[in-house]
Structures are given as C-alpha cells and as structure tokens.
C-alpha cells in the first residue's frame, strides 16, 4: 500500500452481537484513500456501508483489523483521543441531517467549534462565513424546521467542514432529497473536494450521481467489497 | 469547551424547557428554603441566648450557695475531718464574707442574692411577684437596660425598678407613665408576734404558716426590659429594690421553696451570693477557691457547654427535617435530567459526532444540574429569608402583646447564606451524577441511526 495514502484500512471486520446472535457487518475490508480523493461507496441496504462510515468517522470501533489515518491507527485510540479525531480530522454528514432542532442555522454550524474551545466571537464569525459559502447567509438565524431539506443538508455540510477536517464522510446525504436538490448537494461536496482539497467519502444508492462526481466507486455487498471501479 | 460556554449552554438548554426547569428548580427552592429557615432559626435562637449572655456579661457571673446540711453530710468522705473542716461548716454567706470576697483577684464586686415573694399593687391592679434585692452599685453599673426612667442612686431610697412585662400584666402599656408613681409592695413574713394571733392560732391547728402581711410604699424610678433568660441572671425578678431599704422590711427570704423550711436553721447569712468577675478567665480560679471553702458554685460557663449541646441537637433535628425536602428535590433533579437526556438522545449523538468527548458530554449535563442547584440555592435563600421575616412578624405580633420583648428569631450569618448556595449546587451535582453517566454512555451510532 502506498504510504502517501491518507487512509489505510486493513482487514477491517465489524461484528455486532445482540444476545447470542452475531451479525457480521463488515468482513476483511481492505481499502485506501488518497488525499483529495472523492470516493463513492454504494451497495444494497445492510451491506455494511454505514458501519464502514461509522468506523471511519471514529464513532465506532472495529472488532478486528485496523484503520490508519495520516499514519495513526485510529482503531487503537481511547475515548478521549477518538473524540479529538472526530473533532479535527473528520466531518460527518447524514441522510437525516441530524441538526439540533432548537438551534438556529449558525448555532448548528458553530456547534463543533464549541468543543474545540473556540471563543464565541470567532464561532459566530466563522459560522457566518461558512454559511455564506454554502449560500445560506440569509438563513443563518432560521431553525431547521424553517429550512427546506436541501438547506438543512447544506447547514449540515457547513457544520461538517467548519473545523477544517481532512475527510468529509457523507452517509447517503441525498437520501431524503429530490433529484435536483441531490444534484446540488453532491455538487457542493464535489466543490469542497476540488476547490478546497477535502477528501470526500460519499455513500449513495444513486449510482448515477456517484458516476458523475466520484473519482472512484466501491461496491459493498454483505460486508465485503465486491467491486471497485475508477471513473473516467 | 470553555467555562463560560458551559454556563451559557446550560442556561440556554434549561430555558428551552421553561416549565420543567421552573418546577424542578422550585423543588430545590423549597428544599433549600426549608433548610435555610430551619438553620437560621436554630442559629437565631443560639445567637439570642449567647448575645444576651454576653450583653449582660453573664459569663463573668458566679453564683455562690451555701451547701445544705444534708449535702455536707453526704460529701463528708470527700472532706476528711482535718483542720479547716470546722471553718467550712461554720462559714456563712454574710457581710464579712462579702467583703472578703472582693479581695480575691478577679472579683469586681459581690452582692447578696436575696429574693422574697411580695404582692405588688399599682393603680388598683395586684400581681404576685418575687422581689429581688439589687444593690444600687450594681444597678448603676449599666447592666440593666431601662425603657424609661433610671436606676436608684442610694441603697436607702424607697425607690424600685420594675420590669415592663410586669407593668404590661398590670395593664400599663407605656413604661414612661409609671415612672415617678407610687407603688405598694406587700411582703409576707412569718410572724409570731401578738399582732398576728389569728394566724398563729391557725398555724397551731396545722392550717398554714403564721404569715403576716406588711405593706410598704415605693416610688417607681425606672422601668426595665425583663431579660428572657432563666438562671441566675443579675436581674431575675420583675421588681428590684435597694439593699438598705430591704433590710428594714419584714419579709420571708426565699429563693426557692426549700428555703422556706431551711430559713429557720440558717438564719444567719444569705442563701446565695452573686459575684461579678472582671473577666470570664477568673471563673475557674475563683470557683475553685470557693469550692475549697465548702461552698457550692454556679456559673453560666458550665451551662454554656450544656446549652451548646442542646443547640447542636436542635440544629441536627432541624437539619434532618430540611434534608427531607432536599432529598425530594434531588429526586426531582434526577428525574428531570434523565428525562432531558432521553429527549436529547439524538443531540448527544450529534455532540459526539462533532467531536465532544465523554467528558464534554458529562460536563454539559453536570453544569445543567449545577445551574438548577445554583438557581435553587439563590431563590431558596430568598424564600427562606422571606419566610423568616413573615414568621418573625407573626411571632412578635403575638408575643409582644404578652409582654415578651420584640426580637429576631432568625439569624442569617454569611456562612449560612454562602453555605446554602454551595450546598444546593453540591446536592444538585450529586443528583446529576447518575443522569450524567447515562448521557456519557449514549452510543452515537445508535443515537444517530436514522429512523
């Protein structure tokens, strides 16, 4: 494997056990990501896409195998170190946006800065600036319920990259959106990838979107990589 | 997260659930209010007692009593029959003894404690009271507080000072009205003289002692505030008369009922002598000196410890009652916090996803508990204070009408105010431990799983 890789995943296995039943969500995944890559991940429901995302995002820990990000094994980090990893290295975007409903757009965007000990004044400045970047400056004081799905997802994207992470992880970001808005959201991710150098991993059912925007697409099935194709 | 961020977050999160926060905090307010009230009452009572002791310099007071014949017999093994034993037995609390006392280091002055029963008659009203003999010198020493008039200046005057509570019992509401007026003091004396034949005859038939009643007229020169403290305070009767005048009166010397019978045997000397010391540090040496001479002594310093023990028990009892309210309030906090965590399950997942550590999550909820405690402490203190003011008004409203001086039954020392707030925060944080641990345990993967 290329040592220049941003992310190196080796023999990654995740087994969930509930009671006596064990479910193998991921089995011996080997994968790598280059800096600045736009990686698409697709596959049927229950193929382990989201599990892979949670492991990459440091929300979950693997049963075996390793994930190395920028030369560090995040699979070996403790709770506190994992929190730091999530805070500074990755930004996550979800299908259901996962915004805090009682917060305004800018408060949602600025939320990660709270844990990064950024002073309030700077939090407001940065959140406003980033909302402007995703075209929501006018909507900064609106709460999620007052925003359309596309707008909510743009707030979520803004929140994901406000801490200037290395990797953006988008778990079906267009799953709840119509095709036009899906296109817009994917375009924003693509822009962040091309213009600002974020490495993007995007899970999607919509293979046409991935075919259009992603550098390459990995297909998962039953917790295994069944296909890896490079676009263009 | 910064400290100010935690505070700001807590307040803004609590504001979102105004009613619930209000109700939970109100529970704490009541708990802390009750506790503060109880404590302030305990401390207030203690302060009133100690203050009045200090004000009257009662810790400088030493009472000396003659050991009764029985006591002397019982205690004889402890006093071996050596030289000086006779000295002990024959020693009386007489004037020579008083003069001798004043020569002991630390004794400011000594005075006989004489009290006798008398009927007080003033403007058609009659009240039974114990009259105390209070030398003019002591009266002048500034120990007695006057509501109207002043002290008598000589021991030979036909003047007296009277307490305002006795006056009030006799329907005199304004003390100044009584000053300068004549008052009649009727004493009882055991009288075997020929003037008292009817009573002597009834005595011989076993129908009571041969008392005769003798009336003396005095002028009221001063009205004092009766001290609400029991025990040998300097002024412990409602009426005080000068010493010289008292000696000329026929009366029954009486400090307690046993004196009535003892008096025949121990006619020489006084039953009790009060000693005023220059400083409380002389209490022990002077006391020892007098006990070696075979007298019984009494000092409030001995009682203070006992009194303090009583107050510790009182405080504990009041604390226990207040704690019940606190425990209930903490359950309210636990309930609210657990509810809040369940409602904000997803939010906790989001916190973790954007980089909050378990510690951060714990702190966020810990601060919320703390803020509830802080608010509860502040408003609880306020509530306690308001309730104490109301109770004071009610008690004083009732008590003043019955001759008890107006007083503050509560005391709010600074440490109680600060302690109430700190304690409230502390209790709330304790109550927050379990919910907080639950919050930290939230699995972000589960919390963020889209429904």
Superfamily of domain A35-63+72-230: P-loop containing nucleotide triphosphate hydrolases (3.40.50.300)
Greater model confidence, B444 or B1: B444
Minimal CA separation from A232 to chain B, in Å = 33
CB contact under 8 A, A114 and B352: no
Minimal CA separation from A170 to chain B, in Å = 12
CB contact under 8 A, A86 and B359: no
- Helix, strand, coil percentages for chain B (3-state, nearest 5): 55, 15, 25
3-state secondary structure (DSSP) of residue B177: helix
Residues B204 and B349 in one domain: no
Query: Residue A6 carries which DSSP code?
Result: S
Nearest CA in chain A to B447: A98
pLDDT digits (tens, 9 = 90+) for A32-73: 999 999 999 999 988 989 999 999 999 999 999 999 999 889
Tell whether the model's pLDDT for residue A3 goes beyond 80: no
Most B-contacting residue of A50, A77, A114 (CB-CB within 10 A), to test interface: A114
Enumerate chain A positions whose Cβ falls within 8 A of a Cβ in B.
54, 57, 59-60, 79-80, 83-84, 86-88, 92, 94-96, 98-100, 102, 111-112, 114-117, 119-120, 159, 163
- Check if the beta carbon of residue B190 is closer than 8 Å to that of residue B209: yes
Tell whether the model's pLDDT for residue B48 goes beyond 60: yes
Distance from C-alpha of B97 to C-alpha of B87, rounded to nearest angstrom: 12
Q: Residue B59: inside a domain, yes or no?
A: no
Distance from C-alpha of B208 to C-alpha of B186, rounded to nearest angstrom: 19
Stretch B315-341: mean pLDDT, rounded? Answer: 88
The count of residues in chain B is 451
Residues B176 and B128 in one domain: yes
pLDDT digits (tens, 9 = 90+) for B88-109: 445 677 777 777 787 888 887 7
pLDDT digits (tens, 9 = 90+) for A73-127: 998 899 899 999 999 999 999 999 999 999 999 999 999 999 999 999 999 999 9
CB contact under 8 A, A80 and B1: no
CB contact under 8 A, B354 and A87: yes
Q: What residues in B contact A54, CB-CB < 8 Å?
A: 445
- Structure tokens of B187? 């004493």
Residues B268 and B319 in one domain: no
Token pair 């009727």 is found at: B186
How many A×B Cβ pairs under 8 Å?
70
Distance from C-alpha of A192 to C-alpha of A174, rounded to nearest angstrom: 16
Q: What residues in A contact B354, CB-CB < 8 Å?
A: 86-87, 92, 111-112, 115, 159, 163
| Residue of B16, B351, B450 lying closest to A102 (CB–CB) | B16
CB contact under 8 A, B352 and A83: yes
The count of residues in chain A is 232
* pLDDT band, very low/low/confident/very high, at B348 (cuts 50, 70, 90): very high
Token pair 């000295």 is found at: B87
Query: Which pLDDT score is estimated for B310?
Result: 83
Query: Which pLDDT score is estimated for B75?
Result: 45
Percent of chain A with pLDDT over 70: 98
Q: What residues in B contact A156, CB-CB < 8 Å?
A: none
- Structure tokens of B358? 């378990």
Query: Which pLDDT score is estimated for A191?
Result: 94
Q: Residue B426: inside a domain, yes or no?
A: yes
Query: Residue B255 carries which DSSP code?
Result: S
Q: What residues in A contact B7, CB-CB < 8 Å?
A: none
| Residue of A60, A117, A163 lying closest to B2 (CB–CB) | A117
Residues B106 and B181 in one domain: yes
CB contact under 8 A, A80 and B5: no
Stretch B290-297: mean pLDDT, rounded? Answer: 82
Residue B30: partners with Cβ closer than 8 Å, 6 or more residues away: B325, B329, B380, B383
CB contact under 8 A, B450 and A95: yes
Query: Which pLDDT score is estimated for B89?
Result: 46
- Structure tokens of B379? 């408003």
Stretch A17-26: mean pLDDT, rounded? Answer: 87
- Check if the beta carbon of residue B12 is closer than 8 Å to that of residue B372: no
| Residue of B356, B445, B451 lying closest to A83 (CB–CB) | B356
Residues B272 and B393 in one domain: no
Distance from C-alpha of A73 to C-alpha of A58, rounded to nearest angstrom: 11
Beta-strand (E) ranges in B36-88? 61-66
Nearest CA in chain B to A96: B450
- Check if the beta carbon of residue B110 is closer than 8 Å to that of residue B273: yes
Distance from C-alpha of A220 to C-alpha of A204, rounded to nearest angstrom: 11
Distance from C-alpha of A24 to C-alpha of B332, rounded to nearest angstrom: 43
CB contact burial B385-410 (16+ within 10 A = b; e otherwise): bebbeeebeeebeeeeeeeeeebebb
Q: Residue B258: inside a domain, yes or no?
A: yes
* Residue in B68, B61, B75, B67 with CA at minimum distance from that of residue B302: B61
| Residue of B1, B5, B353 lying closest to A92 (CB–CB) | B353
* pLDDT band, very low/low/confident/very high, at B256 (cuts 50, 70, 90): very low
Residue B55: partners with Cβ closer than 8 Å, 6 or more residues away: none
Range of the domain at B430: 3-54+307-448
| Residue of B4, B347, B352 lying closest to A59 (CB–CB) | B352
Distance from C-alpha of B442 to C-alpha of B328, rounded to nearest angstrom: 27
Residues B50 and B126 in one domain: no
CB contact under 8 A, A112 and B355: yes
- Structure tokens of A59? 């929300």
* Residue in B440, B7, B353 with CA at minimum distance from that of residue A120: B7
Query: Which pLDDT score is estimated for B262?
Result: 47
Q: Residue B76: inside a domain, yes or no?
A: no
Query: Which pLDDT score is estimated for B369?
Result: 93
Query: Which pLDDT score is estimated for B55?
Result: 67
Residues B147 and B202 in one domain: yes
CB contact under 8 A, A120 and B351: no
pLDDT digits (tens, 9 = 90+) for A174-208: 988 999 999 999 999 999 999 999 999 999 988 89
Minimal CA separation from B378 to chain A, in Å = 27
CB contact under 8 A, A59 and B444: yes
Tell whether the model's pLDDT for residue B191 goes beyond 70: no
Query: Residue B227 carries which DSSP code?
Result: P
Query: Which pLDDT score is estimated for B242?
Result: 86
Residues B144 and B98 in one domain: yes
* pLDDT band, very low/low/confident/very high, at B135 (cuts 50, 70, 90): confident
CB contact under 8 A, A98 and B346: yes
Neighbours of B325 (CB within 10 A): 20
Q: Residue B77: inside a domain, yes or no?
A: no
Left, alpha or beta for B84 (phi > 0: left; psi -120 to 50: alpha)? left
3-state secondary structure (DSSP) of residue A216: strand
Q: What residues in A contact B350, CB-CB < 8 Å?
A: 98-100, 111
3-state secondary structure (DSSP) of residue B278: coil
Residues B128 and B28 in one domain: no
- Check if the beta carbon of residue B140 is closer than 8 Å to that of residue B153: yes
What value does the mean pLDDT of chain B take? 79
Q: Which of B265, B292, B319 lies at the terminal end of a domain, its last residue?
A: B292
Distance from C-alpha of A53 to C-alpha of A42, rounded to nearest angstrom: 12
- Check if the beta carbon of residue B99 is closer than 8 Å to that of residue B273: no
Residues B110 and B143 in one domain: yes
Distance from C-alpha of A156 to C-alpha of A175, rounded to nearest angstrom: 14
What value does the mean pLDDT of chain A take? 91
Nearest CA in chain B to A117: B1
- Domain range summary for chain A, segments of one domain joined by +: 35-63+72-230
Tell whether the model's pLDDT for residue B207 goes beyond 80: no
Residues B211 and B326 in one domain: no
Q: Residue B431, class by beta-carbon neighbours within 10 Å (0-12 exposed, 13-18 middle, 19+ buried)?
A: buried
Distance from C-alpha of A155 to C-alpha of A160, rounded to nearest angstrom: 9
Enumerate chain B positions whose Cβ falls within 8 A of a Cβ in A.
1-2, 4-5, 8-9, 16, 346-347, 349-360, 444-445, 448, 450-451
Which residues sit opposite B216 in a β-bridge? B185
- Please, what is the angle between helix A105-115 and helix A149-161, to 10°? 20
- Check if the beta carbon of residue A33 is closer than 8 Å to that of residue A12: no
CB contact under 8 A, A86 and B5: no
pLDDT digits (tens, 9 = 90+) for B156-172: 888 888 888 888 888 88
Residues B22 and B96 in one domain: no
Tell whether the model's pLDDT for residue B67 goes beyond 50: yes
Distance from C-alpha of A52 to C-alpha of A14, rounded to nearest angstrom: 9
Give me the number of domains chain B comprises: 2
The CA-CA-CA angle for residues B141, B144, B149, to 5°, reads 100
């Amino acid at each position: 494997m290329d040592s220049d890789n941003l992310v190196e995943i080796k023999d990654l296995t995740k087994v969930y056990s509930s009671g006596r039943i064990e479910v193998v969500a991921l089995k011996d995944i080997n994968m790598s990501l280059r800096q600045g890559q736009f990686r698409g991940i697709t596959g049927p429901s229950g193929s382990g896409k989201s599990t892979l995302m949670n492991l990459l995002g440091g929300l979950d820990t693997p049963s075996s195998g390793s994930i190395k990000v920028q030369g560090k094994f995040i699979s070996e980090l403790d709770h506190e170190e994992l929190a730091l990893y999530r805070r500074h290295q990755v930004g996550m975007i979800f299908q259901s946006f996962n915004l805090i409903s009682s917060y305004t757009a800018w408060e949602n965007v600025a939320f990660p800065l709270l844990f990064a000990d950024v002073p309030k004044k700077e939090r407001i400045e940065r959140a406003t600036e980033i909302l402007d970047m995703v075209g929501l400056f006018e909507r900064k004081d609106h709460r999620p319920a007052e925003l359309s799905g596309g707008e909510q997802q743009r707030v979520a994207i803004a929140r994901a990259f406000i801490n200037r992470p290395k990797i953006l992880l988008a778990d079906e970001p267009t799953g709840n959106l119509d095709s036009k808005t899906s296109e817009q959201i994917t375009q924003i991710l693509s822009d962040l990838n091309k213009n600002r150098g974020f490495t993007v991993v995007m899970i999607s059912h919509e293979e046409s979107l991935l075919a259009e925007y992603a550098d390459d697409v990995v297909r998962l099935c039953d917790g295994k990589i069944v296909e890896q194709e490079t676009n263009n | 997260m910064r400290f100010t961020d935690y505070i700001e977050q807590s307040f803004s999160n609590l504001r979102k659930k105004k009613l619930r926060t209000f109700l939970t905090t109100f529970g704490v307010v009541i708990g802390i209010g009750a506790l503060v009230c109880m404590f302030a009452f305990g401390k207030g009572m203690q302060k009133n007692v100690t203050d009045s002791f200090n004000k009257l310099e009662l810790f400088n007071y030493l009472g000396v009593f003659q050991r009764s014949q029985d006591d002397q017999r019982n205690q004889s093994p402890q006093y071996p029959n050596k030289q000086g034993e006779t000295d002990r037995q024959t020693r009386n609390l007489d004037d020579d003894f008083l003069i001798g006392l004043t020569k002991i280091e630390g004794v400011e002055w000594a005075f006989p404690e004489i009290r006798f029963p008398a009927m007080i008659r003033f403007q058609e009203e009659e009240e039974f009271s114990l009259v105390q003999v209070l030398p003019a010198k002591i009266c002048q020493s500034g120990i007695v507080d006057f509501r109207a008039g002043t002290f008598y200046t000589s021991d030979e005057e036909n003047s007296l000072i009277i307490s305002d509570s006795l006056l009030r019992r006799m329907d005199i509401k304004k003390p100044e009205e009584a000053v300068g007026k004549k008052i009649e003091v009727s004493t009882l004396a055991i009288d075997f003289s020929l003037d008292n034949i009817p009573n002597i005859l009834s005595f011989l038939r076993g129908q009571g002692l041969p008392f005769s009643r003798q009336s003396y007229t005095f002028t009221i020169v001063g009205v004092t505030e009766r001290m609400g403290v029991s025990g040998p305070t300097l002024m412990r009767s409602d009426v005080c008369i000068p010493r010289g005048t008292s000696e000329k009166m026929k009366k029954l010397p009486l400090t307690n009922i046993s004196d009535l019978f003892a008096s025949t045997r121990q006619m020489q000397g006084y039953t009790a002598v009060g000693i005023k010391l220059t400083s409380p540090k002389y209490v022990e040496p002077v006391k020892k000196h007098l006990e070696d001479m075979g007298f019984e002594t009494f000092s409030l310093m001995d009682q203070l410890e006992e009194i303090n023990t009583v107050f510790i028990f009182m405080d504990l009892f009041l604390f226990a009652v207040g704690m019940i309210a606190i425990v209930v309030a903490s359950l309210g906090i636990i309930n609210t916090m657990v509810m809040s965590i369940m409602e904000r399950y997803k939010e906790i997942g989001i916190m973790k996803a954007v980089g909050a550590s378990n510690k951060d999550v714990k702190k966020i909820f810990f601060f919320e508990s703390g803020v509830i405690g802080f608010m509860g402490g502040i408003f609880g203190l306020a509530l306690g204070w308001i309730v104490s003011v109301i109770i004071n008004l009610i008690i004083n409203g009732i008590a003043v009408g019955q001759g008890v001086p107006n007083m503050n039954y509560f005391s709010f020392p600074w440490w109680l105010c600060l302690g109430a707030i700190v304690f409230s925060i502390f209790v709330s944080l304790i109550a927050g431990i379990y919910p907080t641990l639950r919050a930290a345990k939230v699995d972000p993967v589960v919390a963020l799983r889209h429904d």
